[in-house]
Amino acid sequence: MNVSIRTAAVADTLSIAKIVGELGYSASPSDIATRLPLLLDSDRYFLAVATGSDGGLLGVINAERRLNIESGLSYEITGLVVASIVRRAGVGSALVAAAEAWARSHGAEVMRVRSNGGRPEAHMFYARLGFGLPKTQHCYAKALQA
């Protein structure tokens, strides 16, 4: 499959909303339109899309440079979604490689990713790309009242 990777653009809003919806994320086109400029305007984030030969959007990846007091600087894939019709065709691998190149260009030695416990196919995908499982964690959330 012929795949090109490029920086995401505001014009990708509707396509990104459609693709992330395939995995059950409830981000509306309005949500995406609000978030895209914030991500694109900061060198802390990497946001890229994969397109096919016809220019149609096939996938999206988001990565972040994080600074933690206890562990220092780290790089993490914070989102990866590939359109269902092209999964297992190399799109996800190409997007991960682009995020890794971005992290390396900033001096990163390690890339991390967290994967939903209910997505075993994603776990196998990351393992095939050489990601190890150094620990497991629980993720807690608490609604904050205004």
Rounded-to-integer distance, Cα 94 and Cα 98, Å: 6
pLDDT over 80 (residue 1)? no
Report pTM: 0.91
Q: Look at 20-29, 31-40, 91-100 and tell me which has the smallest mean pLDDT.
A: 20-29
Strand partners, 50: 5, 59
The sheet with strand 111-113 has its strands ordered as: 4-7, 45-51, 57-68, 72-82, 111-113
Q: How many CA atoms lie within 13 Å of 35's alpha carbon, on the beta-carbon side?
A: 16
Looking at residue 146, what is its pLDDT?
Answer: 79
State pLDDT tens for residues 9-33.
Answer: 999 999 999 999 988 888 899 999 9
